[in-house]
Structure 1
Amino acid sequence: MFQSLLAKLSGSSSGEKCWQLIEQGAQVLDVRSAEEFASGHLPQAINVPLPTLEQWLQQVENKQHPFVLYCGAGIRAQKGCDMLRANGFECVVNGGSLTDLLCYQPTPTPAKA
């Protein structure tokens, strides 16, 4: 509950909106440390720790591609979003915490035979 409150204060978007973007092909960035990432992460996420984010984004060519960032509570993700926007990225969303995103993760629909 405390992390959810921190995520709200950090300006994170709703979990449903984030998952819609992810399902539509948004790049998911986990801005936590490598150690935190190793302890669990979304399978589609790539780990770009916040201290290395500015260097990493210099390699990204498509600044119109959507990005969803998350961390432990949403605060580092918001800092990452601010950094991306300052560098001309247009569709950047703070997904909040990993826990919040997992709570909103849609359940797969069974395939029809």
Structure 2
Amino acid sequence: MGFFSAIFGGIDNSTLTEAIKEGAFLVDVRSAGEFASGSVKGAVNIPLDRVGSQLANFKGKKNIVVFCRSGNRSAQAKNILEQNGFKNVINGGTWSNVNQCVG
């Protein structure tokens, strides 16, 4: 287990991969500029500072996977969504980690 996963909790890629296979709503919470430089196929960009005002985009989704550059902003996005009643949110961590699971 790596240093960060020991502190922040490991990301269960089997759960992540299964959610993606089932058509999870993939949300890149990085800035528009970061998103434009590359992201996960099929992902939408809702920057962290807009998650709270874009809750309607998340309604009715079976599974939601949030991700960013390091896993920090996605952890914050997961928290915001859970505070607003969403129970099906997975912090995918980094966009490259989610990208590997999409593959």
- By the TM > 0.5 criterion, same fold? yes
Q: What percentage of aligned pairs have identical amino acids?
A: 31
Partners of 1:5 and 1:30 in 2: CA distance: 24
Distance 1:47 1:34 in 2: 7
The one of 43, 46, 49 aligned to 1:45: 43
Shift of 1:57: 0.7
2:42 pairs with 1:55 = no
Match of 1:111 in 2: none
1:78 is matched with 75
Q: Is 1:101 aligned with 2:101?
A: no
TM-score by length of 2: 0.85
5+ residue gaps in structure 2? none
The residue number in structure 1 matching 2:11 is 13
Using the TM superposition, name which of 71-80 and 10-19 deviates more.
Answer: 10-19
How does 1:26-37 map onto structure 2 within 5 Å?
26-37=24-35
Paired residues, number: 101
State the AA in 1 paired with 2:79.
D
CA distances 1:40-74 after superposition (whole Å, capped 9, x unpaired): 00111100000001001145432x62101000010
Give the root-mean-square deviation of aligned CA atoms. 2.0
Change (3 A) 1:11 1:48: farther
Q: C-alpha offsets along residues 64-111 of structure 1, whole Å, 9 cap, x if unaligned? A: 6210100001010000000000000011000000122234444xxxxx
Q: In structure 2, how many angstroms separate the alpha carbons of the residues matched to 1:71 and 1:32?
A: 5
Deviation at 1:22, TM superposition (A): 0.9
Q: With a CA cutoff of 8 Å and minimum separation of 6, indicate the structure with the bigger relative contact order.
A: 1
Change in Cα spacing, 1:85 to 1:12, as seen in structure 2 (3 Å) is farther
Give the 4+ runs in structure 1 shifted more than 6 A. none
